[in-house]
Amino acid sequence: MSRRVQLLLFLGGSAVFAYLVTRIGVGRLVADAQRTGWMFVPILSLYGLVYVCNARAWWLMMADEPSRPPFWRTYAITVSGFALNFVTPMVNVGGEPFKIAAASPWLGVRRAAGSVICYQMLHTLAMVLSWLTALALGLLLLPHEPVTVAVLLAAAVVLVGLTLLLLSAHRRGLLEKLLDVLHGLPLLKRLARALEPRRELLVQMDEQIAQFYHRDRRRFFAALGFEYLGRCIFMGEYWLIFLSVGVSAGYLTAYLVGGLSSLILNALFVVPFEVGTKEGSLYLLFRLLGLDPALGVYTAIVARLRDVVWIGAGLALVWLAGRRAAPQRA
């Protein structure tokens, strides 16, 4: 995607954000923040537990390696990697290259790359499972209007297919097949030709991914369980925000809101920094649930504050996460 299109999407999202804030009123948002008060502490701290689950899953995936980073170094690398993903959407430079470089002193470059790709696939699988959970809750809790039910069921069918694809990728590997697909796509043939000299490396990484699944199924599902647990803890953030402003909605409603909002944001990933899309999606979901939609926009703003806090923590940990504490492996 060109920078011009990204800029237009960013400006469009900013316009949506400005409209919603103007419609609700800054005074109302400030009043909600005052009502939240000390609850900001657990709301902002909760994501630290999410990162513990993420780091534990990745650390389990490295258990077969001759050496692996200590758990708390893995945690620092994980937080830093997610922070870099947040701050670099406009230039398409994520945290995965950083994670590979930071883990290489223990694993070597090739196996570090394989572990990061394998973890990202597992992370995506857990995210898809959390979206399916939210869709199931949507069928129970949202108004049973024909359009709403049809959209939820259609999304569920797509996500079930994606789940099967990801499980197949873990069992057999995916990278070499993906390269073959790129050769057949007119707009991506140039990229495929550039990657072709690395086909043997992709085959080796596919083998590493498949070995993780087949060697110890219990460890695979334990890692997946930690990832899914992290998603469940993340949904608790919405529940805490509900409590802080006096909304009488339970954890399942919070899971529905968080899960469907995450699904919408990932479907609209082309909008940089989720500007406007986060606020708009939560505004609509709160309205569908019969809740005050203004609180949806406030919830989005609190989530952005949490992002800022943890981006700052992640960037501060970049130096620690990148320090070498083991001999460099080939």
State pLDDT tens for residues 261-271: 999 888 876 66
CA distance 209 to 199: 15
pLDDT at residue 55 above 90? yes
Q: Is residue 23 domain-resident?
A: yes
Contact 169, 141 (CB under 8 A): no
Contact 131, 262 (CB under 8 A): yes
Contact 196, 91 (CB under 8 A): no
Q: Is the dihedral of CA 50, 223, 124, 179 positive or negative?
A: positive
Q: What is the pLDDT of residues 301-316, one digit of tens each?
A: 888 888 888 888 888 8
pLDDT at residue 129 above 90? yes
Task: Kindly state the DSSP code that residue 39 receives in the 8-state scheme.
Answer: G
pLDDT band per the 50, 70, 90 thresholds, residue 150: very high
Q: Is residue 246 domain-resident?
A: yes
Query: Which of 139, 182, 138, 132 minimizes the C-alpha distance to 157?
Result: 132
Predicted local distance difference test score (pLDDT) of residue 291: 87
CA distance 246 to 231: 24
CA distance 235 to 220: 23
pLDDT band per the 50, 70, 90 thresholds, residue 65: confident
Q: Is residue 327 domain-resident?
A: no
pLDDT band per the 50, 70, 90 thresholds, residue 16: low
Q: Is residue 330 domain-resident?
A: no
pLDDT at residue 317 above 50? yes
pLDDT at residue 88 above 80? no
Supply the mean pLDDT for the chain: 80
Range of the domain at 151: 3-322
Q: Is residue 328 domain-resident?
A: no
CA distance 27 to 42: 24
Q: In the numeric block, which tokens belong to residue 127?
A: 């995210």
Query: Which one is predicted more confidently, 4 or 102?
Result: 102
Question: How does DSSP assign 121-145, residue by residue?
Answer: HHHHHHHHHHHHHHHHHHHHHS---
Continuous segment of H or E residues that includes residue 172 = helix 146-172
Query: Which one is predicted more confidently, 320 or 277?
Result: 277
Distances, alpha carbon 242 to alpha carbons 35, 43, 248, 250, 308, in Å:
11, 11, 7, 8, 20
Q: Is residue 206 domain-resident?
A: yes
Predicted local distance difference test score (pLDDT) of residue 248: 80
Report the pLDDT averaged over residues 185-193. Answer: 67
Predicted local distance difference test score (pLDDT) of residue 137: 95
Q: In the numeric block, which tokens belong to residue 130?
A: 């959390």
Query: Which one is predicted more confidently, 28 or 160?
Result: 160
Cβ neighbours for 325, distance < 8 A, ≥ 6 positions apart? 69, 70, 73, 105
Predicted local distance difference test score (pLDDT) of residue 154: 94
Count of domains for the chain: 1
pLDDT at residue 240 above 80? yes
Q: What is the pLDDT of residues 106-118, one digit of tens each?
A: 988 888 888 888 8
pLDDT band per the 50, 70, 90 thresholds, residue 224: very high
Between helices 217-244 and 26-36, what is the axis angle to 10°?
110
- Measure the CA angle with vertex 113, ends 207 and 81; round to 5°: 140
Counting residues of the chain whose pLDDT is more than 90, the rounded percentage is 25
Predicted local distance difference test score (pLDDT) of residue 92: 43
Predicted local distance difference test score (pLDDT) of residue 64: 78
Model confidence, pTM:
0.82
Contact 206, 110 (CB under 8 A): no
Q: Is residue 329 domain-resident?
A: no
pLDDT band per the 50, 70, 90 thresholds, residue 167: confident
pLDDT band per the 50, 70, 90 thresholds, residue 230: very high
CA distance 174 to 176: 6
Predicted local distance difference test score (pLDDT) of residue 249: 83
Q: Is residue 81 domain-resident?
A: yes
Cβ neighbours for 163, distance < 8 A, ≥ 6 positions apart? 125, 128, 129, 132
Span of 34-38, 151-155, 170-174, 274-278 with lowest mean pLDDT: 170-174
